[in-house]
């Protein structure tokens, strides 16, 4: 076995992981930004409920979340069957389901830092924007959102990392199907569950670590550039 | 033009403000903590008053009784905040044009002109966090000027600026107010600035507005000493440019039969002007003096003498139907035997009436 | 109270083992504490010196794994129960003929729920049985590999997957599924649950518990949950 | 079975969960604050490495983290045996091990929001504190730390929620021993392992949800009070 | 006492500052963006200069050549920042006492006294974000005063304060400097404040210090017109309190044989004082006039006449060995036939010399 080049199965798991985590982030991030903004800036009835709901996937063991997803989004589940009959969209046992599971699981991790960032943005700047004629939506997009970017980036990193590593809810919801739902994390789990899987597990760990490293370094560079843009330090 | 009659509350301060002004520059004058910023915030719509009514140029911005509360963005108020509030992530240029691209406000004012006025050319590509205190303040002024406002609120906009820059900006505000007809609500601690710029002066004290009115009347009032700052008391003289003396750089102003010589004023003959004569710049003589460098000597008679406990006395004199205020020592009042009705010569140094003391009379819009 | 006897057991044995533990305590006064997890997880913990007295595995491979690493007393090793494989469908499903065509027709594009054929013993047995029957190739691409019996059964019960390949014991307990076929015994290696005393155990009752597992009382309990207990397996 | 009062096993799992999550937070939070501060304020060689290391438990499937812990901190592991022989401290298969696993797994979730908050604190205030004679440590404790409190609280909430729900690393590292390592999450898993466990699983889910709700509401109240203290809004 | 000779860089601005002063109040005067804040930050240790040396009262704070760079906390500089920088999470009281409890600085100054001076009594339990602009500034001043500083840096500390408050604070700074011997580095745009307060004036322009020196000399220099602000030019007279006239509230100051009458100064007889006489408050007469309210008339002779392009002329006169500066119109110079050497009478209104124009001479420490 070549130690340096990826085996087809590993390559498949890697690409699938990136696809799943990417898709999860793509859908979860905007939604998380909205929810975080709502939680940060508005007091509405059900505020506490929404907040608690967002955190649930973190508190409950992933198996439970996966099970709930299966019941709700499975073929015969109320949401799943509705989506399938109306949009032809099915989450059952395919990579979109894996992305859904990853998105749900990483949601609280994204919401929290984003919410903190929104809370830290000085509303006086929004006032100033409004006094210059900006509609609330415009001032959100031009002032609040850019100023909260470090937090959004931070949330995205946590979310992406979590989505990459998500295991429990994914295997429960969409099973462990090679090429379809077997991400690196699932492949790694599979390897650890076989008495002879040590080397495979080690290789997969290296791959996951490597990808995570790359993503984190990219995010750090981005964050530094962002901070410079915001803080304006020329040092 | 600007009608305010509201009550409100911030922290432990009850605000109860009522004034109206006929456009031009309305100055809000009061001690630190008097509620000036709070009042401007209510007019701007950032704080909701408890009750009352606010109208600008006939447009009702707020009317508690009628349930009107125009959103901030629709009030079209150019607001120079006491704490600049620049957008830290945008360049100075983007900050300046924010109202245009984000607020869809019209480009009524020329960008280059404002940039020149405020000396921002070299700063356009910089980010606010790297600006000096005065630079921030100038950008904030520019941003408000470029927002096509129907009212300009300026909360101590010149506090961190040097005299040269102030001298550039003040005439511009004059013009803005005069030519473009944009009323200005101006918060300042400097009675100089207030007198130089305002049509109407509103005194704010402990959240209340004990007095407001045309700036000339207000500055002539002796009961507002503490609020307007004792030593800078003075009076306003209205006049018309009568002659331009190019040789000596002097302008002769007709103040009702008498002529006042002041350092060069770029104005056409016939233009009405307003001169602020500070009480401490005025001397009195019992006989018309000779061989004096003081160029302006007018026959007058004493209208009132207010002696105070300190060394000072305030003398109001009438010159050609207008009032001039003089501040001299009680000792001199005694030595010269001054009394009400007595004819005296009022002496005013020409150099005392510098640029900051005079202004074209703001055309008061109907 | 007496130091409890600690048993690390495969999670699929939970119901039966807890009942046996209670009966053992009643009989001897020694309380029994169980730690249930996937066999692989437990085996690695035993290897790492977990404070277990007894290890009950869901397959032989993991028992051999700990044996070769000297983590159990080889002499104490014995098979305490066996199991069989069945095919289940949602409650009331018609019996299924184990042929390629019938299988395909029943699946109709959906998936066959099965424990992970590489990692979970039930899946491994299932894979070998399907292979023996010549069906593996046709269903390989439409498997839903579950890590968890409960989830597999639930998805069958709810009809998300029309078929599931599970242990007979699982089918016995879940009322919402029906057995549609029993896989022939010769199609897979005997499914056995080996137990052994760990090499770190110092509990005086460990040997007693091992013996108790083979007594009729324990066998009865195991059978009530669908396990096969005749040693001939 | 009484539906409202807790059964002894449930009570045991609940108390254990609180103990484990509490201990995990107690140890992980100060450490996370330190690491976050270092990452936020200093550029040192190995900055990227530390950052990546912190995120690893998120990226790798929990089983792997649990396995690494088992190998390193187990009885026979290098760290485990060292700690046992020197300090008499053992993480093997007891509740402290569960806390260790929970702490490691929640570490990245705490570090990120805390780091964001540190980055958002204006260093000019620290300058002011120093000019008033405050030693760097003093200005950190009196200025930086209090101003970063919303983020620290946010991180603590995420961390606590995660510690409560941690499952994969815990069961792999310290197994599933009632009263010792069987937290709510593990009890819930145990219940789902046999079809007869449905009701038990449901009850346990309710308990976990209830506890999470209570913790979140408490944290929200705290956060609001904090924000008022910092922002000074009397509205 | 304060020796600065450094180079540095911020953004595109090269800073090259060199000045030294003998204690007392050193004012830093310059346009917005000249680098004043940057320079104070270098002295405070917040920005590291590229090279040079900074010493206060003999203590070297920074010496590039010797590798000395004292940490900020050990410099014991009370810094009033241009942007207040109050700690938002602490009450005003906790902010004020921060240096004591967190910085372990000594309680050399009385807390109650500072609170009274700055009018902070009612604010002690408030949090900074709820304070008005001027209130914040006052708390920042108080915090620096209470930090037992060996040097006080004040970056436009009075910009947002009203006249009454300024008049309270300035004498206190005087006393601080005089009695406690704490040197002050004062950044201000107001030449009034500068003249009122300073011993040494440092001009900063484009990052450079083209001139510095005793404030009297600097204000008398005519080449610094632009930097010091033309119309506020003046000169300083040194004198001694000679007599207190309680009846009229006047103090007679001996300025070298001649006596100047000024409004009451609370000082003991014999105390040295410094009076700033603004050029525009000085008139000239060719013959000693009679019957004038102006109380101070001194025989003098003209030292120099600087005619400029505008309407103004600057006349330097010598009175008893000291210089007085007068600003009159060119027209008057011509009308009165003024010329160098000619004897004239210098006229100074007593009321022009108000509190802000005079100060006890700061005892210059050895
Ligand atoms: N959010 C708040 N909570 C409590 N008190 C407040 C709040 N905002 C302002 N105040 C108080 O209300 C008073 C008026 O404040 P305001 O900012 O209007 O004063 P100001 O006249 O603008 O003063 P300055 O000239 O110092 O800027 C002040 O005493 C201030 O402390
Ligand atoms: N971080 C920075 N990056 C780039 N340029 C800077 C930075 N800080 C200051 N400057 C520039 O350096 C110059 C000097 O700034 P400084 O703050 O010292 O001015 P100042 O004399 O205090 O002005 P003001 O009176 O307006 O406060 C200004 O032009 C400013 O724009
Ligand atoms: Mg204010
Ligand atoms: Mg500055």
> What secondary structure does DSSP assign to A50-76, as a single string?
HHHHHHHHHHS-HHHHHHHHHHHHSTT
pLDDT at E359: 53
By DSSP bridging, strand B358-360 and strand B272-278 are antiparallel
What SS3 class is residue B89? coil
Q: Give the residue whose CA is nearest to atom 8 of ligand 2.
A: B130
Instruction: List chain C residues with CB under 8 Å of A66.
Output: 151
CB contact under 8 A, D67 and C11: no
pLDDT at E126: 93
**Nearest ligand to residue B133 Cα:** 2
Domain count, chain D: 1
pLDDT band for E143, please (50, 70, 90 cuts): very high
Could you tell me which residues come within 8 angstroms of residue A4 by beta carbon, excluding any fewer than 6 positions away?
none
pLDDT band for E243, please (50, 70, 90 cuts): confident
Among A residues 128-187, those touching chain D with beta carbons less than 8 Å apart: 150-151, 154-155, 157-158, 161-162, 164-165, 167-168, 185-186
Percent of chain B with pLDDT over 90: 36
Instruction: Tell me the average pLDDT across B289-297.
Output: 86
Could you tell me if C132 lies within 8 Å of chain D, comparing CB atoms? no
Strand arrangement, sheet containing E272-278: E259-263, E250-254, E234-245, E272-278, E358-360
Searching chain A, which residue's CA lies closest to the CA of residue B44? Answer: A131
pLDDT above 50 for C73: yes
Q: Give residue-wise pLDDT tens across range C27-54.
A: 999 999 998 888 888 888 888 888 899 9
Could you tell me which residues come within 8 angstroms of residue A220 by beta carbon, excluding any fewer than 6 positions away?
D47, D48, D51
pLDDT at A48: 85
What SS3 class is residue B107? coil
Return d(Cα A38, Cα A33) in angstroms, integer.
9
pLDDT above 50 for C87: yes
List the CATH number of the domain containing A81: 1.10.3720.10
Question: Which of E43, E89, E95, E149 to mutate against chain D (most D CBs within 10 Å)?
Answer: E89
- E83 CB within 6 A, ligand 2: no
**Nearest ligand to residue E204 Cα:** 2
Could you tell me if D32 lies within 8 Å of chain E, comparing CB atoms? no
The gap from C-alpha C47 to its chain's centroid, in whole angstroms, comes to 21
- A124 CB within 6 A, ligand 2: no
Percent of chain E with pLDDT over 90: 35
Residue D1, domain member (yes or no): no
pLDDT at E222: 57
Q: Are C81 and C58 in contact (CB under 8 A)?
A: no
- Pick out chain D residues at pLDDT < 50: 232-235
Q: Give the residue whose CA is nearest to atom 14 of ligand 1.
A: B35
Instruction: List chain A residues with CB under 8 Å of D119.
Output: 150, 227
Could you tell me which residues come within 8 angstroms of residue A136 by beta carbon, excluding any fewer than 6 positions away?
A130, B73
Please, what's the b/e burial string for C164-186 (b: 16 or more CB within 10 A of its CB; e: otherwise)?
Answer: bbbbbbbbbbbeebbbbbebeee
**Nearest ligand to residue E160 Cα:** 1
Q: Which residue has the higher pLDDT, A144 or E242?
A: A144
Q: Which residue has the higher pLDDT, C112 or E197?
A: C112
Residue A224, domain member (yes or no): yes
- Compute the distance from residue B37 Cα to the ligand 1 centre, in Å: 7
Could you tell me which residues come within 8 angstroms of residue A137 by beta carbon, excluding any fewer than 6 positions away?
none
pLDDT above 70 for E286: yes
Helices (H), A60-197: 62-73, 78-86, 95-120, 123-131, 136-139, 145-165, 168-174, 184-192
pLDDT band for B365, please (50, 70, 90 cuts): very low
Q: Give residue-wise pLDDT tens across range E18-69.
A: 999 988 889 998 888 899 999 999 999 999 999 999 999 889 999 999 999 9
ipTM of the complex: 0.84
Residue D192, domain member (yes or no): yes
Q: Give the residue whose CA is nearest to atom 3 of ligand 2.
A: E11
CB contact under 8 A, E351 and B250: no
**Nearest ligand to residue B188 Cα:** 1
pLDDT at C25: 93
Q: Give residue-wise pLDDT tens across range C88-113.
A: 999 888 888 888 888 888 888 888 98
Instruction: Tell me the average pLDDT across B194-201.
Output: 82
Give bridge partners of residue E60 from the DSSP assignment: E55
CB contact under 8 A, C49 and D194: no
Return d(Cα C178, Cα C163) in angstroms, integer.
10
Instruction: Tell me the average pLDDT across A211-224.
Output: 84
CB contact under 8 A, E85 and D128: yes
Q: Which chains touch D (3 or more CB pairs under 8 A)?
A: A, C, E
Least CB-CB distance to D146: which of E72, E78, E89?
Answer: E89
What SS3 class is residue E293? coil
Residue A1, domain member (yes or no): no
Residue D167, domain member (yes or no): yes
Among E residues 209-268, those touching chain B with beta carbons less than 8 Å apart: 226, 229, 231-232, 245, 248-250, 261, 263-264
CB contact under 8 A, A175 and C145: yes
**Nearest ligand to residue B206 Cα:** 1
Q: Give residue-wise pLDDT tens across range E296-322.
A: 888 888 988 887 667 888 888 888 888
Minimum mean pLDDT range among A191-205, B18-32, E223-237: E223-237
pLDDT at A107: 94
pLDDT above 60 for E345: yes
Return d(Cα D97, Cα D80) in angstroms, integer.
10
Instruction: List chain A residues with CB under 8 Å of B72.
Output: 127, 130-131
- B130 CB within 6 A, ligand 2: yes
Give the torsion through C-alpha atoms of D131, D132, D136, D142, to 10 deg. Answer: -130
Instruction: List chain D residues with CB under 8 Å of E91.
Output: none
pLDDT above 50 for B230: no
CB contact under 8 A, B73 and A128: no
Least CB-CB distance to C148: which of A63, A177, A189?
Answer: A63
CB contact under 8 A, C11 and D193: yes
pLDDT at A232: 47
Could you tell me if E188 lies within 8 Å of chain B, comparing CB atoms? no
C and E touch per CB criterion (3+ pairs under 8 A): no
Percent of chain D with pLDDT over 70: 95
pLDDT band for B308, please (50, 70, 90 cuts): low
Instruction: Tell me the average pLDDT across E186-196.
Output: 80
Could you tell me which residues come within 8 angstroms of residue A224 by beta carbon, excluding any fewer than 6 positions away?
none
Could you list the residue range(s) of the whole structural domain that residue A174 is in? 8-233
Q: What tokens does C205 get?
A: 């009752």
Phi, psi dihedral angles at A17 (to 5 degrees): -60, -45
pLDDT band for A83, please (50, 70, 90 cuts): confident
Could you tell me which residues come within 8 angstroms of residue D231 by beta carbon, excluding any fewer than 6 positions away?
E88, E129
- B92 CB within 6 A, ligand 2: no
Residue D54, domain member (yes or no): yes
| CA R_g for chain D | 20
CA angle D51-D54-D55, nearest 5°?
90
Could you tell me if A51 lies within 8 Å of chain D, comparing CB atoms? yes
Q: What tokens does A28 get?
A: 């979860």
Q: Which chains touch E (3 or more CB pairs under 8 A)?
A: B, D
pLDDT above 80 for A72: yes
Could you tell me if C183 lies within 8 Å of chain D, comparing CB atoms? no
pLDDT above 90 for E1: no
pLDDT at C231: 52
Q: Are E271 and E360 in contact (CB under 8 A)?
A: yes
Q: What tokens does E270 get?
A: 């014999």
Arithmetic mean of pLDDT over chain E: 85
pLDDT at E312: 82
Q: Give the residue whose CA is nearest to atom 25 of ligand 1.
A: B32
Residue D2, domain member (yes or no): no
Q: Give how far Cα D210 sits from Cα of B186, B220, D26, E319, Å.
A: 56, 72, 22, 90
Could you tell me if C6 lies within 8 Å of chain D, comparing CB atoms? yes
pLDDT band for B227, please (50, 70, 90 cuts): low
pLDDT at D95: 92
- Compute the distance from residue B229 Cα to the ligand 1 centre, in Å: 21
- B36 CB within 6 A, ligand 1: yes
- Compute the distance from residue E133 Cα to the ligand 3 centre, in Å: 5
Helices D62-73 and D95-120, packing angle to 10 deg:
120
CA atoms E192, E197, E201, E207: torsion sign = negative
Could you tell me if B337 lies within 8 Å of chain E, comparing CB atoms? no
Percent of chain B with pLDDT over 70: 91
pLDDT above 60 for B226: no
H-run or E-run covering A216: helix A198-231
CA atoms C52, C56, C58, C63: torsion sign = positive
CA atoms A177, A180, A182, A185: torsion sign = negative
pLDDT at D4: 64
- Compute the distance from residue B144 Cα to the ligand 3 centre, in Å: 17
Domains of chain E: 2-227 (3.40.50.300), 235-357 (2.40.50.100)
Return d(Cα A94, Cα A182) in angstroms, integer.
10
Residue A208, domain member (yes or no): yes
Instruction: Tell me the average pLDDT across E79-105.
Output: 93
pLDDT at D233: 44
pLDDT band for E360, please (50, 70, 90 cuts): low
Task: Identify the CA nearest to E73 among candidates E147, E15, E1.
Answer: E147
pLDDT at E366: 34
């Amino acid at each position: 076995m070549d130690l340096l080049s990826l085996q087809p199965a590993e390559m498949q798991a890697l690409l699938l992981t990136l696809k799943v985590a990417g898709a999860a982030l793509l859908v979860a991030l905007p939604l998380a930004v909205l929810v975080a903004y709502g939680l940060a800036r508005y007091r509405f009835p059900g505020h506490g409920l929404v907040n608690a709901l967002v955190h649930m996937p973190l508190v409950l063991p992933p198996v439970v979340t996966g099970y709930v997803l299966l019941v709700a989004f499975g073929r015969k589940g109320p949401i799943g069957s509705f989506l399938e009959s109306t949009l032809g969209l099915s989450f059952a046992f395919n990579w979109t389901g894996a992305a859904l599971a990853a998105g749900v699981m990483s949601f609280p991790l994204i919401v929290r830092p984003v919410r903190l960032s929104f809370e830290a943005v000085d509303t006086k700047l929004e006032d100033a924007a409004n006094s210059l004629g900006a509609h609330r939506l415009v001032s959100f997009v031009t002032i609040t959102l850019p100023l909260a970017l470090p937090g959004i980036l931070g949330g995205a990193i946590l979310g992406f990392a979590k989505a990459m590593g998500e295991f429990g809810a994914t295997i429960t919801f969409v099973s462990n199907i090679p090429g379809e739902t077997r991400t690196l994390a699932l492949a790694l789990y599979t390897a650890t569950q076989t008495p002879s899987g040590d080397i495979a597990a080690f290789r997969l760990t290296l791959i996951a670590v490597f990808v995570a490293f790359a993503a984190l370094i990219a995010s750090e560079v981005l964050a530094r550039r962002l901070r410079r843009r915001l803080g304006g330090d020329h040092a | 033009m600007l009608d305010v009659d509201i009550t409100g509350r911030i922290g432990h301060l009850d605000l109860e403000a009522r004034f109206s002004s006929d456009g031009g520059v309305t100055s809000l004058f009061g001690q630190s903590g008097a509620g000036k910023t709070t009042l401007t915030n209510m007019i701007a719509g950032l704080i909701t008053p408890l009750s009352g009514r606010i109208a600008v140029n006939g447009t009702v911005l707020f009317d508690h009784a009628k349930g009107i509360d125009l959103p901030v963005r629709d009030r079209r108020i150019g607001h120079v905040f006491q704490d600049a509030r620049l957008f830290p992530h945008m360049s100075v240029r983007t900050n300046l044009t924010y109202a245009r691209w984000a607020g869809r406000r019209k480009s009524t004012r020329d960008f280059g002109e404002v940039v020149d006025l405020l000396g921002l050319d070299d700063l356009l590509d910089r980010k606010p966090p790297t600006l000096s205190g005065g630079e921030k303040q100038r950008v904030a002024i520019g941003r408000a000027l470029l927002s096509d406002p129907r009212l300009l609120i300026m909360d101590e906009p010149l506090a961190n600026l040097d005299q040269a820059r102030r001298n550039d900006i003040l005439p511009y505000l004059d013009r803005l107010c005069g030519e473009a007809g944009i009323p200005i609500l101006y918060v300042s601690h400097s009675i100089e600035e207030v007198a130089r710029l305002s049509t109407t002066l509103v005194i704010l004290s402990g959240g209340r507005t004990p007095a407001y009115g045309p700036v000339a009347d207000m500055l002539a009032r002796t009961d507002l000493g503490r609020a307007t700052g004792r030593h800078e008391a003075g009076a306003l003289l209205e006049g018309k440019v009568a002659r331009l003396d190019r040789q000596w750089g002097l302008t002769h102003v007709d103040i009702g039969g008498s002529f006042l010589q002041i350092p060069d004023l770029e104005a056409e003959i016939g233009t009405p002007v307003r001169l602020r004569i500070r009480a401490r710049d005025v001397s009195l003589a019992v006989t018309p003096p000779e061989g004096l460098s003081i160029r302006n000597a007018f026959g007058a008679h004493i209208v009132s003498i207010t002696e105070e406990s300190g060394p000072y006395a305030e003398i109001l004199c009438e010159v050609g139907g207008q009032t001039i205020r003089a501040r001299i020592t009680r000792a001199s009042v005694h030595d010269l035997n001054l009394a009400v009705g007595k004819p005296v010569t009022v002496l005013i140094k020409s150099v005392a009436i510098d640029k900051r003391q005079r202004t074209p009379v703001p055309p008061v819009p109907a | 109270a007496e130091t409890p006897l600690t048993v690390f057991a495969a999670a699929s044995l939970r119901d039966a083992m807890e009942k046996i533990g209670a009966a053992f305590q009643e009989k001897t006064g020694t309380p029994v504490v169980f730690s249930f997890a996937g066999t692989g997880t437990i085996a690695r913990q035993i290897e790492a010196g977990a404070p277990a007295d007894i290890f009950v595995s869901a397959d032989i491979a993991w028992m051999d794994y700990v044996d070769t690493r000297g983590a159990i007393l080889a002499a104490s090793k014995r098979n305490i129960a066996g199991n069989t494989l069945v095919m289940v469908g949602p409650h009331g499903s018609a019996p299924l003929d184990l042929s390629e065509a019938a299988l395909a027709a029943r699946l109709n594009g959906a998936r066959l729920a099965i424990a992970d054929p590489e990692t979970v013993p039930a899946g491994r047995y299932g894979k070998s049985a399907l292979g023996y029957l010549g069906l593996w190739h046709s269903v390989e691409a439409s498997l839903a590999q579950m890590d968890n019996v409960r989830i597999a059964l639930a998805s069958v019960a709810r009809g998300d997957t029309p078929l599931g390949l599970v242990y007979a014991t699982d089918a016995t307990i879940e009322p919402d599924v029906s057995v549609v076929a029993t896989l022939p015994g010769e199609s897979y290696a005997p499914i056995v649950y080996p137990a052994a005393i760990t090499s770190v155990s110092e509990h005086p009752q460990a040997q007693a518990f091992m013996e108790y597992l083979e007594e009729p009382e324990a066998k009865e309990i195991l059978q009530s949950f669908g396990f096969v207990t005749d040693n001939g397996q």
